[in-house]
Amino acid sequence: MNRYARHVLALLFALYAGLAFAAPAAVVEGVQMPAWVERSGMKIPAAPGMELKPRDELRTGVGARLYVKLADGSLLKLGENASLRLLDIAPPKGGFLKGAVEVLEGAFRFTSDKLVRHTKRDINFKIATVTLGIRGTDFWGRSKTDNEIVCLIEGRVELASGTEQPVTMDKPLQFYRREAGRTQPVGFVDPAQLKLWAAETEIAPGTGVVRRGGRISLTLAESEDQAIALKRYDDLRNSGYPAQIRPLERDGKLVYRVQIRNLASQAEADALAKRLKP
């Protein structure tokens, strides 16, 4: 390879890196609705592509799941009837991602694929009275009243609570639990149990899923009466569905169309239409 070609490749790599680091620190990747983002006292339906900010609180409803993609490519997954707060999250500096997350309730999972497992990151999770520092790449957890669980799938995590001796887990399938204010001895979970736990945070196909890059739109209402269309729009959004409304002209008249976009497939659109049928 000659000097000119090497120079061009170096510029391309630098441009790619710059674009990657310019990406939002956290963005909604996929939603099995209903789910919301609470920001500055407002409750907004979670929608694919929504950029998330520090202090945002994420919530899911019955049967819901929410995926958040971080700037380093890792995924933060939230199960049903769950909530977490992004205490601090910012775009990477020098390829190093830092952040802090408070899990308020329910099941969650942090995971990253093989391409980003060696990325430098310093993200701390707070789960009730437990602080979890991750140096790992994949773990699952759940927060309930007086009952916190963290299961290591791959990598390494460090846990601390109050004045108790910190706990380090670095073997797959190790799990930590704290019950009634006391840390229990670290054990190993059966793979079958882990499979059940993991399912609590996985988006299920065929449930009306919206994702970044989804190209299917579902029309849920269409009316010449703006008030009727707005009522349907408001009802959907208040219920945790990211509806959009837009006017269009038909036969010289203005028609208001209420839609949900970014559905992952026609099968997802059909499933959602069946669920939301008036």
CATH number of domain containing 257? 3.30.70.1070
**Domain residue limits at 12:** 3-199
- Of 181, 199, 217, the domain-final residue: 199
In a domain, 155, yes or no: yes
Q: What is the C-alpha separation between 52 and 43, in angstroms, rounded?
A: 13
| Cα(275)–Cα(247) distance, integer angstroms | 25
Q: Which of 151, 181, 199 delimits the end of a domain? A: 199
pLDDT attached to residue 204: 96
Provide the pLDDT for residue 118.
Answer: 56
- Using one digit for the tens of pLDDT, what is the confidence trace for 211-231? 999 999 999 999 999 999 999
Is 204 a member of any domain?
no
- The residue type of 77 is K
Residues 116 and 220 in one domain: no
Q: Which residues have C-beta within 8 Å of that of residue 208, sequence separation ≥ 6?
A: 32, 33, 263, 268, 269, 271, 272, 275, 276
| Amino acid 134: pLDDT | 80
C-beta neighbour count of 24 within 10 angstroms: 17
Say whether pTM exceeds 0.95: no
| Spans of the chain below 70 pLDDT | 1-22, 95, 113-120, 135-136
Q: Say yes or no: 227 and 97 in one domain.
A: no
Q: Are residues 272 and 149 in the same domain?
A: no
Pair 143, 236 in one domain: no
Do 106 and 15 share a domain, yes or no? Answer: yes
Q: What DSSP string runs through 27-89?
A: EEEEEESSEEEEETTEEEE--TTPBP-TT-EEEE-TT-EEEEEETTS-EEEE-TT-EEEEEEE
Closest CA to 40 of 57, 27, 25: 57
Are 62 and 128 part of one and the same domain?
A: yes
Cα–Cα distance for residue pair 235/45, rounded to 1 Å: 11
Both tokens of 228, joined, read 């009727």
- Provide the b/e sequence for 145-158 (b: ≥16 CB within 10 Å): eeebbbbbbebebb
Residue with tokens 């008030």: 227
User: Does 92 lie in the same domain as 189?
Assistant: yes
